[in-house]
Amino acid sequence: MNALALEVAGLSLRLGACCLRDVDLAAAGGEILVLLGPNGAGKSVFLETIAGFYRPDAGRIAIGGRDVTELPPEERRVGFLVQNFGLFPHRTVAQNVALGARSRQDESQVAALLRRFDIAHLAERRPLLLSPGEKQRAALARALASRPDLFLFDEPFAALDAQTHEALRDELALFLRQSGIPAVFVTHDHGDALALGDRLAVMAAGTIVQRGAAGEVFARPASRSVAHFLGVENILDGRIVANGGDGLLRVEVGSSVLSCRSPAPAQNGKVALAIRAGDVRLNGAAAPKANGADNVLAGRITALRTIGPLCKLTIDCGFPLTAYLLAREAQGLAPEARLDAAIAVEAVHVLPGGES
Amino acid sequence: MVESEIYEDGAAAALPRPSPSLMLVFWLLGSLLLALVLLPLISLIATPSLADLIKAARDSEVRNALWLSLAGAMLTALVAGIVGVPLAYLLSRSRFPGRGIVAAIVDIPMSVPHTVAGIALLMVFGRRGIIGAPAEALFGLRFWATLAGIVVAMLFVSAPYTVNAARLGFEAIDPRLEKVARTLGMGPWQVFLRITLPLAWRGVATGLTLTFARAISEFTAVAILVYYPMTAPVQIYELFLRFGLDTAAAVAVLLLVLALALFIVFRQVAYGRTAPLGPGR
């Protein structure tokens, strides 16, 4: 079957203060699509519209090639996992899983599901005091009992501490890869997006502002606001000074000039550059070898702060630049110290539209 | 809402420890209220002799009045559940225009003097009332001198307790649980009966208990709409007027014991259930 796991076309919805505008989105079979966006972007409303809780003003939704636009939630065959996993507190784990079964035949699978998710020993327990990991497994077992065509995740990890969050995310990623059931995962967490997403769509103010392979979206944000949301530390205003024949664009930023390997934007003049702090290499005493493919800038530390194993530095190199060192490599550094920063020409990303 | 599971165990430890002097003063003030409630009831119970009580309990008129009060209050709680719980759900879950007004209407009976309530009910359910007259003509259903009239009067004054407590019960449920249930294949009616109502059970049961208690103790509105046949409170008033305190006290004690015993049983049912409320509450 070649049908797309999920196909949303021209979806529009106005719901109180929230609105979705002409959203197109598709996910292929077995794919995990992460929908990333700031709070209030409309991600949850979008997900619940796919699940069938809101009737769109326009557009259509198909799941596994089946048009579900007019169907109620109970007929859409989606597995819906929410924050805290949404287990029914008045029922035991086994009863929760059995509630997912749509038929007698499905009910006979409950015991097998409990074993598969390693929660058979919790069958008679009520969910309230389960660990987050146990809750996630019980919720997945319950959703699976309803034999969904598509999983929908609405920030299931939002209330967890960092360690649990990471452990549960790894477990979920493993389960989704093994089950082959496609999923849409809504989050505002970059880590979730990178760890889970085959593909990524960034939503802001009710529209999809960028989509693509997860790594690609993070490497090449489509706009200044996307770059900002994706946590790009250095977003710099600049002016194109030369469009060299060597395929390198030269952009004046502050009192320095940076080279970047990027096609020139349509209109010359003002641009914005995005540089991830992780792509800036620093070398205290010895200057980094300038191999032609690097921008090498002489700078002066203006601020530094140690955060766990990393030290975050702000360097004045004609413009303020944020970079990281390992904390132990930063020992002995202090404000006013001089060092050189090297940035590969490929790591300087020109944001289209400049100012916007 | 999310993290409260953690607090559930630590709640006792998290209580602030007030200073001894503050505790002393507050206990003294609080005791005045407790005494105000308990002293009259205790002296009432101590008034009639056992022989008086037995005699009263054997009187068929007294037994009929007690039975009528009990049946009326039970029916009232039942009707309040049938018409009040849906209204509570609407108020907690849907955002419709005039929702605040509806909520206020529900509360009106609690601020209307019960003499006023009785007279107003008489105008609607009486012989020439806009409901009373056609109900008798079409169905032969009379609200005067009948159990139906007693239930109507009791319902007017006691239904707000069911609506408000059930509403709190519904509001404590994470709406996402209902959404998840829908995606698992349950239709809206199934979700309400299998998920929502059981989770709101404690609120609903508390409301029904309060409604029952308020209904069995109602005098004024019932007496205006239906003086005969007499419910226990009406009969106690009548005995008091005709024979004085001692005769009335014996029936009063019987009603008090009956009402309190049932109140305690219902409360046990409402709170005794081990099923926890909504997520983490």
Domains of chain A with CATH codes = 6-225 (3.40.50.300), 228-351 (2.40.50.100)
CB contact under 8 A, B198 and A90: yes
User: What's the gap between Cα B224 and its chain centre?
Assistant: 20
Q: Which amino acid is at A77?
A: R
What local confidence, expressed as pLDDT, does residue A228 receive? Answer: 92
Chain A residues with CB under 8 Å of B183 CB are 51-52, 73-74, 76, 78-80, 143, 146, 148, 152
Residues B69 and B47: their CA atoms lie apart, in Å, by 23
In this prediction, residue A268 carries a pLDDT of 65
Of the pLDDT bands very low, low, confident and very high (cuts 50, 70, 90), residue A292 is low
- Strand pairing category for A32-36 and A183-187: parallel
Pairs of residues, one from chain A and one from chain B, whose beta carbons lie less than 8 Å apart: 84
DSSP B278: S
CA distance B160 to chain A (A): 27
The pLDDT value given to residue A332: 85
When pLDDT is cut at 50, 70 and 90, the band that residue A2 belongs to is low
Nearest residue of A to residue B186, measured between CA atoms: A74
Q: What mean pLDDT do residues A16-36 have?
A: 92
B184–A86 C-beta distance less than 8 A: no
Please give the residue that has the higher pLDDT: either A143 or B13. Answer: A143
CA–CA distance, B221 with B240 (Å, rounded to integer): 18
Q: For the residues A127-150, what does the mean pLDDT come to?
A: 95
The pLDDT assigned to A284 comes to 56
Q: CB of A283 within 8 Å of any CB in chain B?
A: no
Domains of chain B with bracketed CATH: 1-46 (no CATH), 49-272 (1.10.3720.10)
Whether A88 and B278 lie within 8 Å, measured CB to CB: no
| Model pLDDT, residue B274 | 46
Counted residue by residue, chain B has a size of 281
* B183 with A89: Cβ contact below 8 A: no
Q: Is the pLDDT of residue A82 over 80?
A: yes
Report pTM: 0.86
Q: Which residues are paired to B123 by β-bridges?
A: none
pLDDT band at A156 (very low <50, low <70, confident <90, very high): very high
* 3-state SS class at B225: helix
Answer whether residue A338 shows pLDDT above 60: yes
Model ipTM over 0.90: no
Q: Are strands A234-243 and A207-213 parallel, antiparallel or unpaired?
A: unpaired
Question: What is the rounded average pLDDT of the residues A290-313?
Answer: 87
Query: What is the 3-state secondary structure of chain A?
Result: CCCCCEEEEEEEEEECCEEEEEEEEEECCCCEEEEECCCCCCHHHHHHHHHCCCCCCEEEEEECCEECCCCCHHHCCEEEEEHHHHCCCCCCHHHHHHHHCCCHHHHCCHHHHHHHCCCHHHCCCCHHHCCHHHHHHHHHHHHHHCCCCEEEEECCCCCCCHHHHHHHHHHHHHHHHHHCCCEEEEECCHHHHHHHCCEEEEEECCEEEEEEEHHHHHHCCCCHHHHHHCCCCEEEEEEEEEECCCCEEEEEECCEEEEEECCCCCCCCEEEEEECHHHEEEECCCCCCCCCCEEEEEEEEEEEEEECCEEEEEEECCCEEEEEEECCCCCCCCCCCEEEEEEEHHHCEEECCCCC
* Mean pLDDT, chain A, whole residue set: 90
pLDDT digits (tens, 9 = 90+) for A86-132: 999 999 999 999 999 988 777 788 999 999 999 999 999 999 989 99
Mean pLDDT value of segment A325-352? 89
Tens-digit pLDDT profile for residues A237-275: 998 888 766 778 889 999 999 998 877 665 668 889 999
Per-residue tens of pLDDT for chain B, all 281 residues? 343 444 444 455 667 777 899 999 999 999 999 999 999 999 999 999 999 999 999 999 999 999 999 999 999 999 999 999 999 999 999 889 999 999 999 999 999 999 999 999 999 999 999 999 999 999 999 998 999 999 999 999 999 999 999 999 999 999 999 999 999 999 999 999 999 999 999 999 999 999 999 999 999 999 999 999 999 999 999 999 999 998 899 999 999 999 999 989 988 888 765 444 433 33
